Chains A and B, each alone.
Chain A
């Protein structure tokens, strides 16, 4: 049973960098039929796709965040990571990591982690 777990600081100051890691267990992050993604959800609001990464390092970002976002993968640790630069209060959200189904939908999710941007 594949499991994903987000980790990282729950509080980030405005203008600083938000950094989160997703650790994958119960399966290899290097499987050729898997993509990995980050999705976020501001409190009380809907879901926003941030970006995807393939084990080879190929990335796809949401243009609304592209200039501030970096997603990377570390196959030796079975982890992938998210960095969001120059954060503001609008980046306060629950951040989920997820695995993309071979058909393209997200079929496995982490529990989510709340990141608050505040001084």
Chain B
């Protein structure tokens, strides 16, 4: 199985900050990576697919990038609605695997 290692596990930040979350794959997944946002009691919401393509309707302050097997989700200017847990997911090969999650908290 491909292991997805996310960091940090928790991130404290303020409204207006620029933040980044990293996800490292244990082997090559090409660009087959998605980022999701999940709020308590809700289903995950797709933000980015194919490493850097913004899902329709997602604000442009969210962006994704990749460098080899390291992938980054960046939020350019945090808004109050962005405080949530974020997961990466590889869909290069079965079994699909998720990172362990990053909880973005208000500082």
Which A residues are within 8 Å of any B CB, using their own CB?
Answer: 46-49, 52, 60-64, 96, 98, 100-101, 103-107, 109-112
Contacts and interface: CB of A to CB of B under 8 A. Distances in A.
Contact of B43 (A62, A105, A112): A112
Given A105-B34, A105-B89, A47 B44 contact: yes
B49 A101 contact: yes
Interface residues of B, number: 24
B95 A109 contact: no
A105 B89 CA distance: 8
Contacts of A47: 36, 44, 87, 89, 98, 101
Interface string B12-23: 000000000000
Contacts of B95: 49, 61-64
B44 to A, nearest CB: 6
Nearest to B53: A103
